[in-house]
């Protein structure tokens, strides 16, 4: 459990954003993905602080909040469906709820995951920015549930399927406002939060664990694929699979996993995890 004050956590996010932007923002960027959440605000702040010419740069939001952050900074926002077909974003920055040793991420704590995934995978480089609370050995160490975005009409069916996969008490996330009822995403869908045991990474599989859900223990890739395959699921808040150059070599643009993740640490330093 973190003992840092709220303002120290904010400073940690700001420090990570500064280093991430200094290391990865291309000086003549044309297309830049901007994610959602509280940390991304510091990424935009750091891009401003670079002082580079952004008059020709288009910033692609991952949802309503993200778009407002872009507009409030005085940047040009262009919705994902308005970019010319085939356009590859120079870079995409985003936060995460948890990042494991293989750079798999959990996202969707703030109810954004679907647009984040299409923006991240459309970029040459996806860069994650977070604070030290998100830096964990395995997904679902500190963060307890996988956010799953679902069509409202299918919500109960998806809950049944998630229970069959071993999730204990998956729930439809309630609205955060005084309005009763479920929270609605930017797509007007629901979020189901599905708790599972910590997820196995590559090293665990190499050590002989199968990760096939026996005793409710899953490998990241296997569980993400199973959840994604449930009819009614728009997307799952696990970002996994190939990353950056590996994904490009396999015929994709970029991967769901970041090529690098920057974490603001409690001592004021910034830690980096990079793809092999
Ligand atoms: O749904 C929200 C997004 O996935 C965020 O990127 C994630 O929750 C991290 O948010 P924050 O930067 O506020 O911790």
Could you read off the pLDDT of 198-209 as tens digits, one per residue? 999 999 999 999
244 φ, ψ (degrees, to nearest 5): 30, -115
Question: pLDDT at position 4, please?
Answer: 76
Question: pLDDT at position 243, please?
Answer: 65
Question: pLDDT at position 57, please?
Answer: 98
Report the DSSP beta bridge partners of residue 172.
Answer: 192
Compute, in angstroms, the gap from residue 37 CA to the centroid of ligand 1: 4
* Dihedral (Cα; 223, 224, 228, 233), 10-degree rounding: 90
Radius of gyration for the alpha carbons in the chain, expressed in angstroms and rounded = 18
Are the C-beta atoms of 158 and 150 separated by less than 8 Å?
yes
> In angstroms, rounded to a whole number, what is the distance separating the alpha carbons of residues 199 and 216?
10
Secondary structure E strands in 15-124 = 31-34, 58-61, 76-77, 91-94, 98-99, 105-106
Is 116 one of the annotated active-site residues of the chain? yes
Per DSSP, the three-state class of 98 is strand
Catalytic residue among 98, 116, 125, 221: 116
Could you identify the residue written with the tokens 């778009």? 67
Question: Exposure pattern of 41-59 as b/e (b: 16+ CB <10 Å)?
Answer: bbbbebbeeeeeebeebbb
| Mean pLDDT (10-residue bins), the chain, 276 residues | 80 98 96 98 98 96 98 98 95 98 97 97 96 98 98 98 98 90 97 98 94 94 96 98 68 82 97 90
User: Which domains are seen in the chain, by residue range?
Assistant: 6-136+240-274 (3.40.50.1360), 145-237 (3.30.70.260)
> In angstroms, rounded to a whole number, what is the distance separating the alpha carbons of residues 188 and 165?
26
Q: Kindly state if the Cβ of 258 falls inside 6 Å of ligand 1.
A: no
Give the single-character DSSP code of 140. T
Are the C-beta atoms of 275 and 240 separated by less than 8 Å?
no
> In angstroms, rounded to a whole number, what is the distance separating the alpha carbons of residues 261 and 276?
12
Count of CA atoms in the C-beta half-sphere (13 A) of 197:
13
Residue closest to 239 by CA, chosen among 218, 255, 261, 250? 255
ipTM of the complex: 0.99
Q: Kindly state if the Cβ of 108 falls inside 6 Å of ligand 1.
A: yes
Q: Which of 12, 95, 173, 191 to mutate to test the pocket of ligand 1 (most atoms within 8 A of CB)?
A: 95
């Amino acid at each position: 459990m973190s003992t840092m004050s709220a303002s120290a956590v904010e400073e940690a996010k700001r420090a990570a954003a500064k280093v991430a932007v200094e290391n990865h923002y291309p000086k003549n960027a044309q297309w830049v993905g901007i994610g959602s959440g509280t940390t991304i605000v510091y990424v935009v702040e750091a891009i401003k602080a670079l002082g580079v010419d952004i008059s020709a740069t288009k910033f692609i939001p991952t949802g309503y909040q993200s778009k407002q952050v872009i507009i409030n900074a005085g940047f040009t926002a262009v919705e994902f469906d308005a970019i010319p077909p085939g356009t590859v974003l120079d870079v995409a920055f985003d936060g995460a709820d948890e990042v494991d040793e293989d750079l798999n991420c959990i996202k969707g704590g703030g109810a954004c995951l679907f647009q984040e995934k299409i923006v991240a995978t459309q970029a040459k480089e996806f860069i994650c920015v977070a604070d030290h609370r998100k830096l964990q050995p395995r997904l679902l160490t500190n963060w307890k549930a996988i956010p799953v975005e679902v069509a409202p009409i299918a919500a109960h069916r998806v809950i049944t399927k998630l229970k069959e996969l071993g999730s204990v008490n998956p729930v439809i996330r309630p609205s955060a406002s005084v309005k009763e009822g479920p929270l609605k995403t930017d797509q007007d869908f629901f979020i189901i939060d599905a708790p599972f045991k910590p997820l196995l990474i590559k090293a665990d599989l190499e050590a002989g664990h199968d990760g096939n859900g026996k005793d409710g223990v899953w490998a990241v890739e296997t569980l993400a694929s199973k959840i994604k395959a449930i009819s009614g699921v728009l997307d799952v808040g696990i970002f996994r699979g190939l990353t950056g150059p590996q994904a490009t070599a396999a015929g994709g643009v970029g991967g769901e996993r970041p090529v690098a993740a920057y974490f603001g640490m409690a001592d004021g330093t910034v830690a980096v995890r990079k793809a092999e």
